[in-house]
Each structure stands twice: as C-alpha cells, then as structure tokens.
Structure 1
Amino acid sequence: MPDQEGEELVERAEPGPEMEIVHLLRAVAVDLGRHSTRFAQRNGMHPTDVRALIALMDAARAGEETTAGHLGTALGLNSAGTTALVDRLERAGHVRRVRDARDRRKVTIEVDERAVALGWSHFGPLIDRAVDLLREYDERELAAVRGFLTGMRKAAV
C-alpha cells in the first residue's frame, strides 16, 4: 500500500498539458546539454569550460566585469577549481586575465574574440533557428514564453 507521500507524487505526475510542457522543457535541456557537450568534445574542452565561457559572455553582455571569484561562485567551483579552469581557458586562448587600471590587485576575466567566433560557428545555427521560431510569436506569446522561462530559472536555483 503506497504511503501518503507516494500518493502525492503520483498526483503531481498526472498527465496533462502542464506535465507535457514540463517534459518538453526537460527534453530541450537534455538536447541542449548534448549540443554543448559535442562542442566541448570537438574543441578539446571540458563541459565546465563551455559553461564558464557562457557565464563570461552573459556577464559581458550585461555590462558586468567578472573576477575569478565571481566566476567560481556562478559555476559552483572552489578557488582551486576556478584557478585551474581559468588557467586552462587562458592556455587555450579562450580567455585573458585583465588587470584593472585603477586597482592593479583586481583582475577580471574576458573572453577572447576567437572563442566567441568559435562558439558562433557551432551554436550560431541553433541560435538563428531559435530566433526564427520566436519571430513566429506575437508580443503576448513572447511575454508568456519569457515569463515561463524566467520563472523556471528562479525555481531552478
């Protein structure tokens, strides 16, 4: 006989349009992860390297400088792991350490333009397809998609 907690889990998993969307979201996340893994493998990178480059590019797009400490926190890495990651990316020519002009103790991490070009060569077609799909939606539908994805990001942390 199932316990009350088990019965509650069954109730939450009832089929319906909401669960269909949840399963589609999970499938998209898995597919995007595989796409990213292929990029990492083809370019001799670890999947965390790709996540780091994405975090750095997102920060740059938001006008934020990223120190190694901030990057480590964003990726859930300790100090030693972050240093090894940045060293690896720097040796590969994907990032550079830049000393602050006002405070030489502060070092930020910047993505090299060649890494951006490499990323676009792999992810560009996928991004273009996503943009094409989104152009088929009206403003109300885009707001709904944006709201759902923003809510899911908040729920996932």
Structure 2
Amino acid sequence: LFGVEGGAFILIVVVIGGLRWMQVARLVRAQFLSLREKEFVEAARALGASKLRLVVGHILPNAVGPVIVAGTIDVAAAIIAESTLSFLGLGFPSDIPTWGSVLRDAKDYLDIAPHWALFPGAAIFLAVITINFMGDGLRDALDPRRVL
C-alpha cells in the first residue's frame, strides 16, 4: 500500500468515502434531532438524567439501526463504484486485480469465454447483496423496540 499503488489506493478510498459520508452524517443528525423530542427522552430529562445519559442510554440505541443500514448500503455502493471505476480504467492501476478490472479484461472474450465475466459479476452481486442483508439483520438485532 505504499508508493504509486498506495497513492492510488488512498486517493480512490478518499474520493469514494468523501462522496458518501455526507448522507450518513445527515441521517445521524436527523435521527438525533427527531429522537430528542420524543416522550421517553422528555421523561428521562424530567427524571434528572444527564445529557450524556440521555445520548448514550436513550437516543443512541434508537438511532443506531437506521445508521447501520445506511452505512452498509454505502459500503455496497462503494464496492459498485470501485468496480465501475476499475471497469472503465479509472480505478486502481492495471496490475492490481479488482473485480472491475477482471470484468474489463473479460469483455473482449465474451463470445468464447463468457464465464470470465460471469464469475466476477456474480461476486460483485453476491458481495453487495450480502452486505445489504447483514445491515438489515444488524438493524433487526439492534432494534430496541424488538420483543425477545
């Protein structure tokens, strides 16, 4: 991860991450602003709970579910973005194998070896769908309103 390849890696991570963090930050802020006006927070405040106790004990457990889902969706979107950039030749250097670069190399052989494109495409699909399902499962597991 050092040298030219390291610079390209850091640049791509910063660009993709830099374009995706704003939606999650907006969601976190909206969740906190919405939850601080709820009755259970008002009741805890009336009982004398400190601000730290309100945030950590009452607001954060209720806000974490949607944030995890948004985060996992952003991870999946980052995988797709990197694969797209590599497929177009704008991603990592050509000597670093990525799913997008494998797809780019396989596009010339679709008529004689379609499986060269099928497997990396399926890997991208499976990775993205798995990450999305993990986010949904984590949201369900961390839901404070869930009855055991």
Which band: TM-score by shorter chain? under 0.3
Larger radius of gyration: 2
Q: Which has the higher strand share?
A: 1
Q: Which has the higher helix share?
A: 2
Give the TM-score normalised by the residue count of structure 1.
0.26
Higher relative contact order (CA 8 A, sep 6+): 2
Give the TM-score normalised by the residue count of structure 2.
0.28
